[in-house]
């Protein structure tokens, strides 16, 4: 990376941001050894203005901000993005000028109607590490038992399949409506939890992508645990990694647990070992601005990550021999 064109201010920000990324615990990418997935609501990620300097009171995303967003994203193999807007010029600039040809993009269309807030959902992925499997679709709820149409999501959820090393998996991302009360959100959360369990997991778990289904996105859940919205989210068997249970994903005077990564209790056949965390970049970049002003340049949400162990040699051996390699004498019953 050539930093000669960057100001001292930007380089200092990059150093602080890298330290925050390291503190989050996210591991380095290791070929055929791990898989690093993420989810990030990037606030109103649409256009940008072509300038390095800025009026500190102007809530716009500039090229300096794109440097920091790219710095975070390059640590992932696949990252789900929420709040991508109809205008995708910032996304295209991110890919062309910062991430480069090794990175791919899959994105949904804008959901029709005013409720969708002209938003798309997207996946950015490192093509050196993963490939798109060919599965991609927007989630449309089926009619009810009487055959009548049901209310659809304000922002249509998006599911995509990927493959890496010897494994395949699928990722579903969504941005649940906000509303003023918990009751405004609970119906969509229940709908996506039921659909994911019945249509994407139970019916498809004979396929690798179905067996390894990961749900992530902005669910606008205020808190985890004994909470109406979190209970709705986990009502069909979804579990959140314990490392994320106490980690808030927004900042400010009243931070929330809006963003989630989860999978089903008996799911993830190929991904048994994992770690997870949140990258807290508040006060690391744009230090001359308030947090609110900074949120329009970068985001008002933190990225979440989960890292899976892909070193499956021993699992394959154990499966072939039908033994438990962790036992004191795993081969006692194995015939030569």
pLDDT in tens, 296-323: 999 999 999 999 998 666 666 666 667 6
**In the predicted structure, residue 287 carries a pLDDT above the cut 60:** yes
* The predicted structure's pLDDT at residue 56: 46
Per the CB < 8 A criterion, the answer to whether 105 and 124 are in contact is: yes
Q: Where are the alpha helices (DSSP H) in the chain?
A: 8-23, 63-73, 89-93, 183-195, 208-211, 228-233, 291-297, 313-321
Q: Locate tokens 């209970």: which residue? A: 231
Q: What's the pTM?
A: 0.90
| Percent of the chain whose predicted confidence (pLDDT) is above 90 | 67
The structural domains of the chain, ordered by start, are: 8-321 (3.60.10.10)
* The predicted structure's pLDDT at residue 315: 61
**β-bridge partners, 173:** 158, 216
Per the CB < 8 A criterion, the answer to whether 184 and 225 are in contact is: no
Q: Is 38 exposed, middle or buried (0-12, 13-18, 19+ CB in 10 A)?
A: buried
**In the predicted structure, residue 2 carries a pLDDT above the cut 70:** yes
How many angstroms separate the CA atoms of 188 and 40, rounded? 19
User: Which is more confident, 167 or 106?
Assistant: 106
How far is it between the farthest Cα atoms of the chain? Answer: 75
Lowest mean pLDDT among 81-95, 236-250, 253-267, 281-295: 253-267
**In the predicted structure, residue 327 carries a pLDDT above the cut 70:** no
**In the predicted structure, residue 182 carries a pLDDT above the cut 90:** no
User: Which is more confident, 267 or 249?
Assistant: 249
Per the CB < 8 A criterion, the answer to whether 301 and 218 are in contact is: yes
CA 245 to each of CA 109, 216, 321: distance values in angstroms, whole numbers, following the listed order: 32, 14, 37
**In the predicted structure, residue 122 carries a pLDDT above the cut 60:** yes
Confidence of residue 210 (pLDDT cuts 50, 70, 90): confident
Residue 316: left if φ>0, alpha if ψ -120 to 50, beta else—which one? alpha
Token pair in block for residue 216: 């992530």
Give the chain's mean pLDDT. Answer: 89
CA 73 to each of CA 25, 44, 80, 146, 159: distance values in angstroms, whole numbers, following the listed order: 15, 17, 10, 45, 19
Q: What is the mean pLDDT of residues 245-268?
A: 91
């Amino acid at each position: 990376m050539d930093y000669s064109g960057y100001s001292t201010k930007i380089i200092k920000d990059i150093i602080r941001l890298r330290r925050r990324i390291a503190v989050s615990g996210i591991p380095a990418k290791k070929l055929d050894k791990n898989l690093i997935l993420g989810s990030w609501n990037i606030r109103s990620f649409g256009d940008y203005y072509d300038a390095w300097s800025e009026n500190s009171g102007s809530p716009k995303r500039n090229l300096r901000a794109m440097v920091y967003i790219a710095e975070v994203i390059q640590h992932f193999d696949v990252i789900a993005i929420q709040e991508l807007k109809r205008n995708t010029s910032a996304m295209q600039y991110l890919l062309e000028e910062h991430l480069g040809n090794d990175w791919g993009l899959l994105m949904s269309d804008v959901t029709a109607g005013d409720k969708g807030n002209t938003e798309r959902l997207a996946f950015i992925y490192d093509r050196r590490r993963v490939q798109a499997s060919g599965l991609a679709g927007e989630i449309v709820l089926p009619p009810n038992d009487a055959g009548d149409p049901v209310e659809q999501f304000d922002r249509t959820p998006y599911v995509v399949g990927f493959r890496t090393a010897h494994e395949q998996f699928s990722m579903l991302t969504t941005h649940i409506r906000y509303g003023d009360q918990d009751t405004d959100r609970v119906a969509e959360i229940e709908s996506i939890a039921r659909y994911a369990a019945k249509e994407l997991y139970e019916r498809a778990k004979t396929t690798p992508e179905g067996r390894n289904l990961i749900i992530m996105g902005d669910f606008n859940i205020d808190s985890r645990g004994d909470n109406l919205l979190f209970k709705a989210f986990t009502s069909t068997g979804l579990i959140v990694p314990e490392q994320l249970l106490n980690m808030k994903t927004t900042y400010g005077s009243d931070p929330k647990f809006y963003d989630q990564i989860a999978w089903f209790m008996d799911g993830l056949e190929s991904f048994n070992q994992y770690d997870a965390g949140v990258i807290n970049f508040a006060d690391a970049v744009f230090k001359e601005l308030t947090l609110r002003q900074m949120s329009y340049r970068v985001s008002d949400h933190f990225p979440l990550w989960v890292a899976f162990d892909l070193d499956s040699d021993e699992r394959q051996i154990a499966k072939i021999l039908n033994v438990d390699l962790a036992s004191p004498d795993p081969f006692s019953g194995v015939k030569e």
